[in-house]
Amino acid sequence: MKVLVACEYSGRVRDAFRRHGHDAWSCDLLECEADPTWHYQRPVEEILDQGWDLMVAHPPCTHLAVSGSRHFAKKIADGRQQAALDFVRLLMNAPIDRWCIENPISVISSVIRAPDQIIQPWEYGHGEVKATCLWLKNLPRLKPTNYVEGREPKVHMMPPGPDRWKERSRTFQGVAEAMGDQWGDCVLPFRAEQMLLPV
Ligand SMILES: C[S@@+](CC[C@H](N)C(=O)[O-])C[C@H]1O[C@@H](n2cnc3c(N)ncnc32)[C@H](O)[C@@H]1O
């Protein structure tokens, strides 16, 4: 299966799919901090039409996340929020049959549509709290793999610094593994009971 992991510099989701034998590639404006062999360092818009079977996308949330809502008035006025939403719509309209778009609690839910699922790192082996929305097309909801007790908002408490955003935005390893493990076989026909059910 040809898998595109859009807006990923960590290579974590890409490598989770590669471990299952898929032809998975990451794409980001930044260089890859893992093995660069399977990384496009360029705007993902340029490669969306290259025949991907599945996409996992992590679009920037800086102008969308409700945690930054105190800045919304300015970001709406100067067009930054609209541009960020347009980018999400572009990904959603890509000619790819199956995708997951991931973002924190954000205006995507009110302006575009509600997410199909909200996950937490503590459901996937990390003792942290960070509500993460998943919008899904032709993919089953991700199943929790490892509930853990510790539940700290570590990502919110990180000290300021130039790399703070990077430390906060890297996909949790347990979530990346779950995506590779559970969606890696999705090119096979779905069983009806795997498909999205009403919440
Ligand atoms: C929230 S971070 C996601 C990081 C990801 N979870 C990871 O583990 O690498 C969003 C990323 O989108 C990238 N990005 C922004 N615009 C892009 C574009 N047009 N094409 C590709 N990547 C883009 C940024 O450079 C940033 O690394």
Ligand 1 atom nearest to CA at 62 = 1
Burial class, 51, CB count within 10 angstroms (exposed 0-12 / middle 13-18 / buried 19+): exposed
- Cα(65) to centroid of ligand 1, in Å? 15
Segment 143-165 shows an average pLDDT of 77
Q: What is the pLDDT of residue 198?
A: 47
Which tens digit of pLDDT belongs to each residue from 73-124?
A: 888 989 999 999 999 999 999 999 999 999 999 999 999 999 999 999 999 9
Please state the domain extents for the chain: 2-171
Residue 153 has pLDDT above 90, yes or no: no
Scanning the structure block, which residue is given the tokens 């935005």? 169
Q: Which residues fall within 8 angstroms of residue 43, CB to CB, at 6 or more apart?
A: 29
| Neighbouring-strand partners of residue 84 | none
Contact in structure between 62 and 68 (CB atoms under 8 Å): yes
Q: What is the pLDDT of residue 72?
A: 84
Ligand 1 atom nearest to CA at 26 = 9
Q: What is the pLDDT of residue 155?
A: 61
Please state, in angstroms and rounded to a whole number, the distance separating the CA atoms of residues 65 and 85: 11
- Cα(2) to centroid of ligand 1, in Å? 19
Pocket test for ligand 1, best of 29, 61, 108, 171 (most atoms within 8 A of CB): 29
The fold of 2-171 is Rossmann fold (3.40.50)
